[in-house]
Structure 1
Amino acid sequence: MKSTKPHVALLASPGMGHLIPVLELGKRLVVQHEFHVTIFVVATDTTTVESHLRNLPNPKLLNVVSLPPVNISGLVDPDASIVTKIIVMMRETLPALRSAIISTTRQLRPTALVVDLFGSEAMAIADEFEMLKYVFIASNAWFLSATAYFPTIDKRLEEEHINHKKPLMIPGCKPVRFEDTLEAFLDPKDQVYVEYLRLGVEIPTADGILINTWEDLEPTTLAAMRDTTSLGRVTKVPVYPIGPLVRPVMQVRPVPVQEDSVLGWLEKQPSESVMYVSFGSGGTLSSNQMIELAWGLELSQQRFVWVVRPPMDDDASGAFFKVDSNGYDGTPNYLPDGFLTRNSDKGLVIPMWAPQAEILSHPSIGGFLTHCGWNSTMESVMNGVPMIAWPLYAEQKMNATMLTEELGLAVRSKEFSTTTIVEREEIERMVRKIMVDKEGDGIRSRVKELKYSADKALSIVGSSYNSLSKVAKDCETSLQGQLSKARGA
């Protein structure tokens, strides 16, 4: 018997930052619309993703299929950017994805395929099997505007932006200054430049674009995308702001004993008194910068929880495929001598990974020093926690500018460049600004106002709820068309 509910297939590219919002999107399609959902996950050499999937609160809610790992060592330079590696990995996974979709078709044919940014080439498979196809942008609409618009500009504008460091003027949107621009745009001779421009061209060939944002967060950018006389002439297809997609704490896997010590320590701290410091699942600092950060935290005299991983001097995204702590002895010998002892009464250092969702939701957390990955940003907003913006790679510099200059939810170092060392006195100043100074109170109030806005968007008949419902309606209409066609055959 044919199902009367659509089956949606989602494709997540490698990395926890890509997987988590895809999982949350899948859950919403199941819970809010009673869809059947299959999530295809591109496996890597880390066990963290598998561990996360094993510990989903209701594993029967979603059908998760891990695609076999692929070897790209002969296809990309070892020093290639993380974006290049992910794109090539996704390309090499296409045959396995096609086979997996054929297997699921035998039971329940997918009505739609939703791919994230780096999986856009998989939309050809959706065409082959006459499925609706959507691109899911796990970041914000401003990032999407730059990604979609850059391939359309002429050489003169490109040269002005890259060579003369003038802002990238995007129709109807906030300009992207050179200091914040995406690294993929910088070198036309680099493989990542060619690959990324292709992504920008392919996005508008989808049936729609889902974005991890909401109407009240980026009204101007979203309006420009819907205006065919403005950016809409580039994006072309409907945009659906469906965010924020954030893990509810009660849905996070049970916390093991070794991690429970973090929450136990937080229980003993006063309300909003702890600065949480983490650079995401893949971010790293240089040796010198890590020492300065340690001293800055100590000089601030504020309580802190710091997730540390070994420094890497040449690649801020060097830990992207190495987020688990297996084989790590937990001794951070790269911190200043005596740091752990001197700060044992007010600081907690955690090697490699921590239960971020639980930490940010704890009442004792008063600030978040973050790399500005969009998942972390949204988790901070949804918990009403003000931020110190410390971008490292990808679109994080754009995110940091949005947080500090447009939304007023964070403070940021005066140093824009990720190659410049932020000194301990500057770090102390930023920590105290959030945790002690009056300016921090104003930022905290704005974050909590935005949390209310996000909660409203996600509520029944809220803007994001309605936006996802439109996508669901299109999937249901497509399914009915498939069933009618089958009956008439």
Structure 2
Amino acid sequence: MMCALAGLHDPILRWFRDHPSPPVAIVSDMFLGWTDELARQLSIRRYAFFPSGAFAISYVFSLWLELPQRKNPDDENETVSFPEIPNSPVYPWWQVSPVYRSYIKGDPNSEFIRDAFLGNMKSHGLLFNSFDRVEKVYLDYLVKKLGHDRVWSIGPVLSPPTIGPTERGGSSSVLPSEIVSWLDTCQDDTVVYVCFGSQAVLTNRQMMELTLGLEKSGVKFILSVKGATKGHDEENHGSIPLGFEDRVAGRGLVIKGWAPQVTILQHRAICAFLTHCGWNSTLESIMAGVPMLTWPMGADQFLNATLLVDQLDIAVRVCEGDESALDSDDLVKFLEETRGEKWAEKKARAKALSKAAFDAMSEGGSSFNNLEGFVRSL
């Protein structure tokens, strides 16, 4: 897709040159790194916007700059270290970005993708959907690495209240009003929300263990289920075990399709979020002050889990990988932890981060001021 989008270069260039009053800057996201060269051709500034966090982008930048390789090409567990990045993260090869792992030196598409990611770092400025309290050490690292201070955290960037989280997304088996009504019947901090984002589809084996664990745990829960989509074998993906919904009726709510996640997370009844650690989900949970059970499956999710578990201490790692299945008995143990004293401490830290996020976005806060700084740069 990144290579295909580059086909827009010449039409955009012509549009700029033919326009009587063309824009004076380009703001484009991380997958459009080629727009940095376009901006240079037009003698204007390009700013890169990153919907991912600064920690993840520090790691991506290091990957494409240093081009680390395995010593044993057959060892998927061989580790790759990043000693220059704060906290010196280390990951097994199988958790490294799949886009990077598919890189072939000299291949035109691979080299284009590398140049595009490096082009992001050459941009006049960088904007992040993040905030200082969560990622200041990585934002400062990028400032030092790039040699300028045009690095702005302007998040969390979420839909304004006037739009409302219930009006987003697609079709759902349960109306948002019905979900809220069900949550209203639950006591505070008693419901676990389970959702793996808009892309991941669980295998039937993963679904079997997950639902069995929820059933055996006795906890109240909301389970958001995404059915098989294009590229998934319908016989082996996205199926809810027969009779599960009947057996947990009253204690569990199953949503097939789109879940109004922000509404759910912000409800007083939610005590934990079992998540794939996508950055949007991560920020939405932080905003709601809800600690997490992490099951990263790909992309930047392993890094986000590291941030949540090892650095912010508002989460517990329960599983890793899109092919792994969390044993039902292990899930029961993790769910039991959400009722304990240590979980209450994580909840308190999550609440403090929530306040910090709202403070950052408020007038005079770090994200508010950074957005003004970006405008001044423009």
TM range (shorter): 0.7 to 0.9
What residue is the counterpart of 1:148 in the other structure? 61
Query: Aligned partners of 2:278 and 2:215: how far apart in 1?
Result: 25
What residue is the counterpart of 1:110 in the other structure? 23
What residue is the counterpart of 2:146 in the other structure? 232
Q: How far is 1:308 from its partner?
A: 0.5
Q: Deviations over 1:377-427 (max 9, x none)?
A: 0010001111111111111011111111111111112x4444322111112
Residue number among 431, 438, 441 corresponding to 2:335 in the alignment: 431
Q: Secondary structure at the match of 1:178?
A: strand
Query: Aligned partners of 1:243 and 1:122: how far apart in 2?
Result: 23
Residue pairs, 1:15-34, within 5 angstroms: none
- What is the letter of the counterpart of residue 242 of structure 1? I
Q: What TM-score do you get using the length of structure 2 for normalisation?
A: 0.86
Query: Aligned partners of 1:213 and 1:143: how far apart in 2?
Result: 11
| CA distance 1:220–1:310, shift in 2 (3 Å) | same
Q: Secondary structure at the match of 2:70?
A: helix
Query: Aligned partners of 1:397 and 1:278: how far apart in 2?
Result: 16
- Contact map agreement 1:293 1:427 (CA 8 A) in 2: yes
Q: Does 1:90 align with 2:5?
A: yes
Query: Aligned partners of 2:116 and 2:149: how far apart in 1?
Result: 15
Q: Deviations over 1:306-334 (max 9, x none)?
A: 1102257987xx99xxxxxxxxxxxx982
Residue pairs, 1:27-42, within 5 angstroms: none
Q: How far is 1:253 from its partner?
A: 5.9
Q: Does 1:158 align with 2:62?
A: no
Q: How far is 1:148 from its partner?
A: 1.3
| CA distance 1:193–1:278, shift in 2 (3 Å) | farther
Query: Aligned partners of 2:72 and 2:65: how far apart in 1?
Result: 14
List runs of 5+ in structure 1 lacking aligned partners. 1-85, 320-331, 476-489
Q: How far is 1:457 from its partner?
A: 1.6
What residue is the counterpart of 1:52 in the other structure? none
| CA distance 1:211–1:167, shift in 2 (3 Å) | same
Q: Does 1:134 align with 2:47?
A: yes
What residue is the counterpart of 1:310 in the other structure? 227
- What is the letter of the counterpart of residue 91 of structure 1? A
| CA distance 1:460–1:237, shift in 2 (3 Å) | closer
Query: Aligned partners of 1:127 and 1:135: how far apart in 2?
Result: 14
What residue is the counterpart of 2:242 in the other structure? 337
| CA distance 1:367–1:102, shift in 2 (3 Å) | farther
Q: Secondary structure at the match of 2:60?
A: helix
Q: Secondary structure at the match of 1:348?
A: strand
- Percent identity at matched positions? 27
Q: Does 1:422 align with 2:336?
A: no
State the aligned residue count.
Answer: 365
Query: Aligned partners of 1:299 and 1:367: how far apart in 2?
Result: 17
Query: Aligned partners of 1:431 and 1:216: how far apart in 2?
Result: 28
Q: Deviations over 1:102-121 (max 9, x none)?
A: 78x55x63232111110121
Query: Aligned partners of 2:12 and 2:192: how far apart in 1?
Result: 42
What residue is the counterpart of 1:242 in the other structure? 154
Q: How far is 1:374 from its partner?
A: 0.4
| CA distance 1:377–1:158, shift in 2 (3 Å) | same
Q: What TM-score do you get using the length of structure 1 for normalisation?
A: 0.68
Residue pairs, 1:207-286, within 5 angstroms: 207-227=124-144, 231-232=145-146, 238-252=150-164, 255=167, 258-286=175-203
What residue is the counterpart of 2:355 in the other structure? 452
Query: Aligned partners of 1:371 and 1:303: how far apart in 2?
Result: 20
Q: Secondary structure at the match of 1:307?
A: strand
- Contact map agreement 1:249 1:361 (CA 8 A) in 2: no
Q: Does 1:189 align with 2:92?
A: no
Q: Secondary structure at the match of 2:323?
A: coil
| CA distance 1:203–1:289, shift in 2 (3 Å) | same
Residue number among 370, 375, 379 corresponding to 2:280 in the alignment: 375
| CA distance 1:445–1:182, shift in 2 (3 Å) | same
What residue is the counterpart of 2:269 in the other structure? 364
Query: Aligned partners of 2:357 and 2:213: how far apart in 1?
Result: 33
Q: How far is 1:89 from its partner?
A: 4.1
RMSD (Å), alpha carbons: 3.0
| CA distance 1:265–1:125, shift in 2 (3 Å) | same
